[in-house]
Amino acid sequence: MWAGWWPTEVVGRTGSLRMTNRGGMVAIQPTQKKLAWMNSVPLDRAAYQPTNVEHWANMVTHGLFVLPAIYGAVMMVMASRSDVHQLAATIYGVGLAGLFSVSTFFHIVFYLGYYKNLKEVLHRSDRAMIYVFIATSYTPWLLLRPLPQDSWTLHLRWGIWVLAVLGILYQQLFHERFKMLETVFYLIIGILPSLAVMDMDDHSGLDELKLGGAIYVLGVIFFKMDGRIPLAHAIWHLFVVLAAFIHYYAVLTYLILPPEGSTASVETLSMDECDVSIPECATA
């Protein structure tokens, strides 16, 4: 039964229907829903529900960069001059392309709203890919450049992956809980390996690494501002794109294609400088 003469509005994804009871006759009139740039902050720590505009912005801001990321990854692998360079480039490229691909796929499924179980899996995968991406971003630096043999930073070659696995396990166990603590974990795993890079004798590319890291950290502000700043998550995506581009440039320029005289390539290292934990050095 309709509630007397009071109009009832049923809201859909693209608009709404206004149903009015007039003397026993039901009149249905389509109404145009205004564009909403932001929804309210959810109560009781519930997950934020983006508006249609935000959904599209989230899909586009990473979706546009899936193919460029794959292309860049392939080009980096092809430019590699040795097995160890190729390994580092492959790990880095998989992380880069995987980040944009999983993020885009998740936001598409989230927008469609039909596949609840798939959305849950992709949401967890999207968060897990952040840890994987951080580890893959540092791998070329830790693998292709010598580290001091007497420094704790030497252990970050495997330690970065241990941290990534622990972060993923934490995220899976406490998904959508303790969100601020999860963000702190992202920052820790993102900043800690940079100490190893700064401990290296060769500092070429360090400025780009710092700049990209600073952009990531600034972007985290928007990552936590859903419901407070319009399109906050899409803005976070753009920070990620910019920082990833800067880091890609640094890896390609200073590690895969190092400038003349740089120690980034193990072929140019003397035996005193060479780190035996690098396969090419061990066989030199």
pLDDT tens per residue, range 165-212: 998 998 888 776 777 777 788 888 888 888 888 888 888 899 999 999
Q: Residue 57, exposed/middle/buried by CB under 10 A (0-12, 13-18, 19+)?
A: buried
Length of the chain: 284
CA distance 238 to 244: 10
- Do residues 202 and 26 lie in contact, with contact meaning Cβ atoms separated by under 8 Å? no
How many CB atoms sit inside 10 A of residue 195's CB? 12
Q: Domain 52-259 is of which CATH architecture?
A: Up-down Bundle (1.20)
- Residue 144: the pLDDT is 92
Q: Does the annotation flag 175 for ligand binding?
A: no
pLDDT for residue 33: 54
Which residue numbers in the chain have pLDDT < 70? 1-34, 44-45, 176, 258-284
The separation between CA 89 and the C-alpha centre of its own chain, rounded to angstroms, equals: 18
Closest CA to 100 of 59, 47, 145: 59
Q: How are strands ordered across the β-sheet holding 25-32?
A: 8-11, 15-22, 25-32
- Strands, E, within 56-104: which ranges? none
Would you say 233 is a known binding-site residue?
yes
Q: CB–CB of 110/283 below 8 Å?
A: no
Distance from chain centroid for Cα 70: 15
The per-residue pLDDT for 186 is: 83
Q: Which long-range contacts (CB under 8 A, 24 or more apart) does 14-20 make?
A: 14/52
Q: Give the number of other CB atoms < 10 A from CB of residue 31.
A: 12
Tokens 């590319």, residue located = 205
Question: For position 12, what pLDDT does the model report?
Answer: 46
User: How far is 136 from 91, CA to CA, in rounded Å?
Assistant: 6
Break the chain down into helix, strand, coil percent, rounded to 5: 60, 5, 30
- Does 237 show up as a binding residue in the annotation? yes
- β-pair partners for 239: none
CA distance readout (Å), 156 to 90, 94, 193: 19, 20, 7
Q: Which helix (H) or strand (E) holds 67?
A: helix 66-79
- How far is 110 from 130, CA to CA, in rounded Å? 18
The pLDDT of residue 21: 52
Q: How many Cα neighbours within 13 Å face the side chain of 264?
A: 24
